[in-house]
Amino acid sequence: MTTAPIAPRSYRLPDLQAVWTHKPRFNVHFEEAAAGSQEWFLGHNPLEGKLLQIFKKCGGELLCAWVFPYAGLQQLRTACDLINLLFMIDTISDEQNGRDALATGMQFYNALKDDSYDDGSVLCKMTKEFKRRFFPYAGPATSHRFLEHSKNYVLGFAREAELREQGVVLDFATFGPFRRENSGARYVLGAFGYLLGMDMPDEIFEHPIYMEMHLAAVDMICWSNDIYSYDVEQAMGHFGNNILTVLQREEGIDLQAATDLAAEYFQERAATAPRRACRPSARSSTRSPLTMSWPWRPGWRVI
């Protein structure tokens, strides 16, 4: 489905946090972890000009403190590094076409999976430094999933750039699974084993209850992000990769109606979490990984 840019309109933002009763917590290691990650990131001078100013205002470390309240200092610092690294990749690829975005993504992915890979880029160097903090403390199952999610994330945002270049908006059925990958949400949530200090086996990660909860959390992150960031994204010409645009085109409705519909879907997904986690079939071994995704729902809109 092709489209032309949507004329900007005012719209009323829903209070998504009101439907989520989980009490937010804040990580006590925030200041130390944030300072270390900022020093590391800025020390490489990976961004300049407008992009550097955007980075300084984005608050990635603050996000991590809200959504990873249980992480120790080392784990929180590594999470901050990952979020900052992903911000850098996202910022760069937002200005690229499909081919160049894929090239950027493969620099990142190859540096993660191959110790011998070195193309001399700043991105490669930073990725290798990150992986030295992450992989030694992540078990084999967590590491394998992390690499798999890395590949899916790279292919996702490269495809996003390609669709942006072509001026194409996906239909709702196609957009949902696509958005889960290109947003990076599944990618970050897949690192929970590292943050918990446990190597979550595939039988838990792929358990139907865990997977339903996992995808519900991912959808809530994506939809809330799309709702709150729509105005900024459409101003940049990135209107296509947003659930509000998809719903407007597919349902033939205006911006406010699309926002309300997305909010209804968010509420439906929010109801999934407590209901599924409290079922007797949610074994104790799955409850901790399940509930640790809950801070992401209110935490995502803190920034």
> Percentage of the chain surpassing pLDDT 70?
86
CB 111 within 8 A of CB 131: yes
Instruction: Check residues 48 and 98 and name the one with the higher pLDDT.
Output: 98
Global pTM?
0.88
pLDDT at residue 55 greater than cutoff 90: no
Higher pLDDT, 172 or 282: 172
Q: Name the least confident of 42-56, 79-93, 176-190, 277-291.
A: 277-291
Q: Where does the pLDDT of residue 182 fall: very low under 50, low under 70, confident under 90, or very high at 90 and above?
A: very high
Q: 272: alpha, beta or left, given left = phi > 0 and alpha = psi -120 to 50?
A: alpha
Give exposure, 277-303, as e/b (b: 16+ Cβ within 10 Å): beeeebeeebeebbbbbbbbbbbbbee
Judged by average pLDDT, the poorest of 83-92, 144-153, 244-253, 273-282 is: 273-282
Query: What would the two tokens of residue 25 be?
Result: 């917590």
The beta-strand segments (E) located in the chain are none
3 state SS of 2: strand
- Give the separation between CA 214 and CA 16, rounded to whole angstroms: 18
What digits encode the pLDDT tens for the residues 116-141?
A: 999 999 999 999 999 999 999 999 99
Residue 168 β-bridge partners: 2
Domain boundaries, the chain: 29-299
168 in Cβ contact with 2 (< 8 Å): yes
Rounded (10°) angle between helices 73-93 and 60-67: 130
Rounded to whole angstroms, the Cα distance separating 184 from 146 reads 11
**CA dist 251 to 53, 135, 243, 256, Å?**
38, 45, 12, 12
pLDDT attached to residue 235: 85
Per-residue pLDDT band at 151 (split at 50, 70, 90): very high
- Model confidence band, residue 299 (pLDDT cutoffs 50, 70, 90): very low
pLDDT at 280: 45
For residue 227, what pLDDT band results from cuts at 50, 70 and 90? very high
User: Phi, psi at residue 73, to the nearest 5°?
Assistant: -60, -50
C-alpha to C-alpha distance for 255 and 248, rounded to whole angstroms? 6
Kindly report, residue by residue over 269-294, the tens digit of the pLDDT: 888 765 555 454 444 444 455 555 55
Percent of the chain beyond pLDDT 90?
59
Mean pLDDT, the chain, as a whole number?
87
Q: What is the pLDDT of residue 281?
A: 46
18 Cβ contact list (under 8 Å, min separation 6): none
Interacting residues of 39 by C-beta distance below 8 A, sequence separation 6+: none
Tell which CATH classification among 1.10.600.10, 1.10.10.10, 1.10.10.1100, 3.40.190.10 matches the domain 29-299. Answer: 1.10.600.10
- The amino acid that residue 25 corresponds to is R
Angle at 268 between CA 203 and CA 262, to 5 degrees: 115
State how far the alpha carbon of 133 is from the alpha carbons of 40, 121, 125, 151, 274, in Å: 12, 19, 13, 19, 33
**Residue 164 and residue 95: Cα distance in Å, rounded?**
10
**More confident: 275 or 201:** 201
